[in-house]
Structure 1
């Protein structure tokens, strides 16, 4: 098996039930990793277990400490993929504080809390590891009706850099992947209006949006040995959108 694969490593994938998370589980299992899938949806977890044989954790990052406790009971892990994310479409001037809190809880506080649980265990055991945060190109631009989402992903990028700085001396790498619009259920919900999606699509030199397996392949790379000196990077996976 190619050395870049995260073979033999025990990896937690959050938001594993659909979209990028499910594609990531499938890819990591194919690449020889031992995957534990976390989702708030029991039916999705049953399907993942039947399809890929992976262990599962039913937890909702909106109930952060309960999710952290569930992950702590499943230790040890060699890697973490913070993929779980939600969005809310509201104009900034009328975005409710409850909306902001809910989106930040899942998209920003959740990844930090699980990085604490798994990172502290890696440090305690004296072994290296890797954390991959699924962020978004929305971290770097202002998208109408996405105040909560954009803010949560910009904060996630900042956490990626801080964690990389602090965990590097322990041989723990931390990176984020910043995809453009990805054709997941959430992506289709947010970008189904052609009037909204067409201008973005027109600025992508490769001329299309992402498919979930294309993100999963980058996750696998960043978890593996070929990325051994990549840390603190917020990697755009956007078909060239960022060159505009």
Structure 2
């Protein structure tokens, strides 16, 4: 299988670090012209040093109107990866309106906002394209202390299905990639001790954390023509984490 995105223009949000950065670098390596979005300028500068062909935009996608202006100004985008997310720890009893709004603004509304712009552009050009939403197995399995984050991911999964239904006839495919445990700067905050990490990987049949590149490879496949009839799918990249209910380690 030889994925080649030469001539295609890709947009990746949350591309400054972690999974988003890995995806941006992967798509660029596969020939795409890549726009990388992050709200942290230093992360974008570092990304440019690693791959000077990637164009960057410093943007807080939680701001609806400013995001529309910046994304519309990019012009043509064929491939979109809605990766940006925040992950705060508050129980249902602790969650405030501000906390809830912040999570939905970034994790859900921004993905809808940007997808709307990209899809309208593809349709107006009578072209074709693909969108991958980076969700999580937390949209399927709730995690103690993170009910709002988990709910935003469940919402993204339903948005994926809804967009796939609406955009499919218009030649825009939409899928979710649902990673399990990946040690990124964001997830490491909730898995501090080795004991916590061992307990986590003990529930994964494959017995280890997922590598960022394994997520990026899945995203590249879903964006490619090799996935031409995959639409509205929720694709777990979790080593089998979600296939069992036992509270005990599987190995």
Query: What TM bracket, shorter-length normalisation?
Result: over 0.9
* CA distance in 1: counterparts of 2:162 and 2:196, whole angstroms: 34
1:187 aligns with 2:182: no
* CA distance in 2: counterparts of 1:210 and 1:64, whole angstroms: 32
Gaps of 5+ in 2: 245-251
* CA distance in 1: counterparts of 2:228 and 2:146, whole angstroms: 34
1:134 aligns with 2:143: no
Question: Over aligned residue pairs, what C-alpha RMSD do you find?
Answer: 1.3
Aligned to 2:233: 233
Higher relative contact order (CA 8 A, sep 6+): 1
Equivalent residues, number: 243
Following superposition, the deviation at residue 196 of structure 1 comes to: 4.2
Aligned to 2:249: none
Q: Is the 8 A contact 1:91 1:145 kept in 2?
A: yes
Secondary structure of 1:111's match?
helix
**TM-score, normalised relative to structure 1:** 0.96
Aligned to 2:83: 83
Following superposition, the deviation at residue 214 of structure 1 comes to: 1.2
Following superposition, the deviation at residue 212 of structure 1 comes to: 1.2
Aligned to 1:155: 155
Aligned to 2:220: 220
Q: Is the 8 A contact 1:6 1:225 kept in 2?
A: no
Change in CA separation of 1:208 and 1:140 when aligned onto 2, cut-off 3 Å = same
Q: Is the 8 A contact 1:184 1:211 kept in 2?
A: no
Secondary structure of 1:43's match?
helix
* CA distance in 2: counterparts of 1:109 and 1:218, whole angstroms: 24
Change in CA separation of 1:5 and 1:190 when aligned onto 2, cut-off 3 Å = farther
Aligned to 2:101: 101
Gaps of 5+ in 1: none
Secondary structure of 2:230's match?
coil
**TM-score, normalised relative to structure 2:** 0.93
* CA distance in 2: counterparts of 1:219 and 1:21, whole angstroms: 10
* CA distance in 1: counterparts of 2:71 and 2:202, whole angstroms: 41
Deviates most, 16-25 or 187-196: 187-196
Following superposition, the deviation at residue 210 of structure 1 comes to: 1.2
Matches within 5 A, 1:1-244: 3-52=2-51, 53-194=53-194, 196-244=196-244
Q: Is the 8 A contact 2:104 2:152 kept in 1?
A: yes
